[in-house]
Structure 1
């Protein structure tokens, strides 16, 4: 029987829209390898710690253009438990709130909505312990591996939700949040975002936020933040940080992309950079695939060294491009064409075994593959959240 979100309530009406499938979806496909490579990849994926540093393991509405607003405002975003089981992931950082969790307001990133989304979804996770456990410390990764479950760690992509109340960081930590982005594309009270035309880096308040997050043991993420914010944080943070889902600018000049100079600076400081898999961020080509992701991993390994590179797919179950179209409309962005429709072989979290397959096909050693698909993130967490 399929595993359903909020099934403990025994009331199918709690999710008001038809959901996209989390297994056997229209874009699901397996990367084919020669028999000897396939056997090696399957064994490696099964035996290794597989850790996605940033994703969204929920199901989107099946008809995004019609049902996105109803779903986002419903207060019950549905996790894709069968897809999580299929993925073979040991752990992931799941993003909460944002455009998908807007129960109290049509505007994203309200503190009240983050608290609701954390609470309601983590209650559901706790009722699916055959697949998931709540992750709050490194030991939970070991527990998940031993039990065959996936440890779901909480990530919030925009610390701007705290406004000017720094103690809200402690509240979020108490609710299980272990990773947070300092800004999300635009400027907030803490730091500039990657889409700003002027880059002021960290604010004075942002410097206090960095110190508090260090003391709490909360991993800082700069996937949507500006270069200056990264460089400012390098000067004052007592712990390594991460860029949980991005791409190297040398291969795609997206606003989120990071230059080789930034990649070298963060690797020198012991940070981790995770390559993402998102249509029209991963590539600007019409046909986008896991091979573009692999090219970016290759480049980052060359620039940063094998110990500082990971995967942060930023994937979800359903029409990712449809989500981007809905968000653009919601935010009043000018209509623009989207070149690619999906990232073949790594469009959703259930396709994570294809990542191991493509790294095998690229000739990486078993030890290096283990680092790229999980161990580098675990070592980062040992130095941050503990």
Structure 2
């Protein structure tokens, strides 16, 4: 069933153009719509502690898509082609977030099945920056100081990133162009191989290419965070080894908790931590499931968190929920051909329960308040909570962006 339709007043993005005149009037989901029923079991003092932790600390989502989906998912292809991806700005300001690593709908927003080309990426980035420039209370973060200033000034910082370096093709200087336009985090490869390396869909894992090594070196020199979330196991290990700076896994989980290609094996997680990197725990539907919680909820997501914290050290773990506003499961069905979900989410003979949404981590508005509540309920200290909700990412960025 489609999510409730948003009212025209809820369409905050692109205030300088006319909806239905300058671009198609596709009806969008209502960002205030909720299906999650999760609530941590907190007393009054603990609930106040959650609010204090969110208010006093820098809270960072390592990966999200804070845009609205169409109310009717049959409109998805047309919506993605418009470039006008509407963001739920008011909702995000209520989320407790200081900064969000914003990866748009890039890799699947192309007019061709093979994903974005260079012109697609530049057009989408320019459109995104134009929208952000016309919003009150937001800033595009290019430095750690920008994030700190956003916290101090009560603004929401957007970190521009892309899930794949595929549009770079074999033109190394394009990485410089993207840095100049504000990109500060870049996934090397998505599900399918590109000129940099292999992705998670590939049966033959060729690892990082010679060009990929040059690209990692250039990203290090510029100050772009290298992200291996969707890279193959060999490509991930090669990139971690090749990088002079720590590498991120902005949104994934542990294969030791759930045996699918989309999750990272222990060897990759340990290598990432040993070189100073950080893992952001994923929460997109049917990814971070666990043996103990086969219906995907916040509890299965936190199974990945506790496993990773034990394996890597809690100082190397954060959260990149990878959520959005609308029917996320239906969205996956609508664009499955481009995402290649059937191969990277296949658990083989291990059964799991299909869900309509991830209870407790449905969208960016609720994610970090519920995560903080879960951590308080389970006895984590203020220092530990501060670290995993943003402190670990800030430490990483201080090493990579300088």
User: Which residue is equivalent to 2:384?
Assistant: 368
User: Which residue is equivalent to 1:110?
Assistant: 117
User: Which residue is equivalent to 1:300?
Assistant: 308
- Equivalence map 1:36-55=2 (5 Å): 36-55=45-64
Q: Is the 8 A contact 1:22 1:82 kept in 2?
A: no
1:153 correspondence with 2:162: no
Deviation digits for residues 354-375 of structure 1, max 9, x if unmatched? 1111111111100000000001
Equivalent of 2:238 in 227, 232, 242: 232
Equivalent of 1:60 in 61, 65, 69: 69
Shift of 1:129: 2.4
Shift of 1:48: 1.1
The alignment partner of 1:244 has SS state of: strand
- Equivalence map 1:85-234=2 (5 Å): 85-102=93-110, 105=112, 107-130=114-137, 132-234=138-240
Q: Is the 8 A contact 1:99 1:327 kept in 2?
A: no
Measured in 1, the distance between the counterparts of 2:61 and 2:140 equals 15
Q: Call closer, same or farther: CA 1:11–1:189 in 2, change over 3 Å.
A: same
TM (normalized to structure 1)? 0.93
Instruction: Give the total of aligned pairs.
Output: 383
The alignment partner of 1:288 has SS state of: coil
Q: Is the 8 A contact 2:315 2:387 kept in 1?
A: yes
TM (normalized to structure 2)? 0.90
Measured in 1, the distance between the counterparts of 2:341 and 2:238 equals 30
Q: CA RMSD in A?
A: 2.1
Measured in 2, the distance between the counterparts of 1:376 and 1:334 equals 32
Gaps of 5+ in 2: 1-8, 347-351
Measured in 2, the distance between the counterparts of 1:378 and 1:330 equals 33
Shift of 1:345: 1.0
Deviation digits for residues 162-190 of structure 1, max 9, x if unmatched? 11111111111111110001110111110
Measured in 2, the distance between the counterparts of 1:296 and 1:376 equals 17
Measured in 2, the distance between the counterparts of 1:332 and 1:177 equals 25
Q: Is the 8 A contact 1:54 1:93 kept in 2?
A: yes
Gaps of 5+ in 1: none
1:282 correspondence with 2:288: yes
Shift of 1:111: 1.6
Measured in 2, the distance between the counterparts of 1:299 and 1:328 equals 29
